[in-house]
Structure 1
Amino acid sequence: MIEKNMLGKFIRTKREEARLSQKQFAEQLFVTESAVSKWERGVNYPDITMISDICRVLNISEKELITASDDTTYRQMKKQSAKYERIQRLTFWIPTSAYLLSFLICLICTLCGVMPFSTLFIVAASLLCAFLFFPSVTKFFENQRLLAYLATSAVGVVLLLVVCGIATKSVSWIPTAVLETLLGYTVVFLPIILKKYSKNGFISTHKTFISFVADMVLTIILVATVQILTPINLRNAEMTVLYCFSPLLITGVVVSLRLNGMIKGGICTIIFGIYAFFANYFVGFTFDEPVDMKINLADWATYTNGNVLLTVLVACAAAGIGLIGCGIKKGRK
């Protein structure tokens, strides 16, 4: 245990650094001024139950109080933490203040008749959208900050699209634009969300498959929406979407299987080779166009398409079989 005199001198030094009198110090600790005096003169030790309160009032760590010495590492960490908090506050309030000032200027211009109200609404929606992207509202959420950021930023984009459509009196394009926004968010962020928040269960083991299904469903809805809102016939496009997503869904299922990574890679390679080979046949059938897929390895100039796709199929099959073989061999070790 450290000597009473050393502890007393340390308490007095820190009290004076905090610019507290013995009376003020005692009042914050709910003890008598005489008790504080005895601590500082080395007559008595503070009660062990007072340690945390003394540290709080003097802004020191318990280690510093017990050892009666400055903890340089602790103070450096505390200083860096305070600096980080200041930077966080600045990065929130500086752009926020700029957004508010911009809106105020536009509001004054509108009230003066320089700017129409429709433009003011677009500016307000744009500023709100920008705010939701940066600095965002995540500082108000202790948990689920990623979800909060994605949800609020997506709402900001959708709100901006709706306001622009209403202000310009042209709303037919809004559903398509909103679906495109949701599709973009799903493609980019859904795999990240599933990986971060699904620790076990079906979702955890089928993340890739679920992501591909969501992408396919939103793409089909997007194509169907465009077809409803425009006179363009996109049924063939819907069939093409299904064909393009089919290998992704199958590989999503394969990736979810409890197999060696090389085996899964080999199966996926073979699947993509097969789909690449039959892609031209599918396009010809769907769009009712003739497709020349004849194969003659002795004449590459005339039979380029067929020869190239056959080569791709053989290469994918060979690579896939090789990976499967390596995976099986590795699994037996």
Structure 2
Amino acid sequence: MASSSRESAISKWESGKSYPDITLVPEICKALDVSEHELIRGANDTEFREMKKHATLHRKVSERFYWGFTGTYILALIICLICDIAINKGLTFSPIVFGGLLVAFTFIPTATRFTEQHKLAVFTLSTFASISLLLGICCFIYEQNWWGIATMGTLLGYIVLFSPYLLKRYAIRKYNVALYFFMTYSSLFILLFIIGVTNGYDMKPGYLITLFTMIPFIIMSIMHMTSVNGWFKASVNTLFMSISLYSIQYILTLTLGENENSSYKVNFSDWPNHVNANVFLLILIIGIILSIVFFIVGIKQKHRR
């Protein structure tokens, strides 16, 4: 009965007496292996066929690329294990080879083929984890203690490089700048702490200098979260950035306990001996001028609105 009713329905579609329910079109196209365009027009969709052909070819090439590299890495690891055990009667250099091959695998062909929605996040986490593991293996084999410094330095680089894109995707846009600088400076403080603990250094000057350099970025983050005119934001950010840059030479002198010398004194008639102070002063002047210009443009734009 069901078969005869289906045949009757198809017969009516073919004769033009009725048409299939529009919700059934995707299933019909899938069953017939045709596009919606082909089904409706009753003609071959050359473009669809060509796209499907290229997509199939791309999948095949991608599969061969992935398994080709993966197989090469596995074969290289097996050869290194055999050589290591045969020559050294144990695992000496092969763990480092394993770590290096794992790093290579996370970069090419990468683990992103297992996800569609979070490729950048998967790439970032997998590559960082593999690099950290390789650094840990090297430290363990050679009995050294620089793993924390190297790993934290790598994390700082990853935050600086990848976090703007990850925050843009996963965070609230209003707080992106504040979160970016918070993550960057938090990792920097942790890195300084690990350096101090590992090597026994007094890191107080480093903490103070880092805190000072945070000031313009704190201002920038606050301005970004406000609804102030963009030109006013640029004016404030430029002013504080130029002031901080000009002041950093004095902060370094005071923090590191060095005596102020002639290189910090302005003298445009003697550039060879006063180049630092002259350049920093010119940067400050240019920054102030740009800040005033941005402020004036912001006022004009506000009045125009």
Give the TM-score normalised by the residue count of structure 2: 0.85
Structure 1's 43 and 296: CA in aligned 2 closer, same or farther, altered over 3 A? closer
Structure 1's 31 and 72: CA in aligned 2 closer, same or farther, altered over 3 A? farther
Q: CA deviation at 1:67?
A: 2.8
Which residue is equivalent to 1:11? Answer: none
Structure 1's 291 and 72: CA in aligned 2 closer, same or farther, altered over 3 A? same
Which residue is equivalent to 2:80? Answer: 106
- Is contact 1:269-1:320 (8 Å) kept? yes
Q: In the TM superposition, what whole-angstrom CA distance separates every residue of 1:71-125 from its partner, at most 9, and x where no partner exists?
A: 1111111112112212221221111111111112112223433574121111112
Q: In the alignment, does 2:74 pair up with 1:93?
A: no
Which residue is equivalent to 1:328? Answer: 299
Which residue is equivalent to 2:251? Answer: 282
Which residue is equivalent to 1:179? Answer: 152
Aligned-pair Cα RMSD in Å: 2.9
Q: In the alignment, does 2:94 pair up with 1:120?
A: yes
Distance 1:239 1:181 in 2: 23
| Larger proportion of helix | 2
Which residue is equivalent to 2:220? Answer: 251
Give the TM-score normalised by the residue count of structure 1: 0.78
Structure 1's 44 and 329: CA in aligned 2 closer, same or farther, altered over 3 A? closer
Structure 1's 48 and 277: CA in aligned 2 closer, same or farther, altered over 3 A? closer
Distance 1:160 1:45 in 2: 70
Matches within 5 A, 1:123-202: 123-170=97-144, 172-198=145-171, 200=172
Larger radius of gyration: 1
Distance 2:63 2:286 in 1: 57
Q: CA deviation at 1:44?
A: 9.8
Distance 1:182 1:258 in 2: 32
Matches within 5 A, 1:311-326: 311-326=282-297
Amino acid at match of 2:185: M
Amino acid at match of 1:253: I
Amino acid at match of 1:247: P
Where structure 1 has 5 or more consecutive residues not aligned to the other structure, the ranges are: 1-29
Which residue is equivalent to 2:178? Answer: 209
- Is contact 1:206-1:253 (8 Å) kept? no
Q: In the TM superposition, what whole-angstrom CA distance separates every residue of 1:209-251 from its partner, at most 9, and x where no partner exists?
A: 2211211111111111111111333321222222223222222
Q: CA deviation at 1:62?
A: 3.7
Which residue is equivalent to 2:20? Answer: 48
Where structure 2 has 5 or more consecutive residues not aligned to the other structure, the ranges are: none
Distance 2:218 2:226 in 1: 13
- Is contact 1:109-1:115 (8 Å) kept? no
Amino acid at match of 2:184: D
- Is contact 2:231-2:298 (8 Å) kept? yes
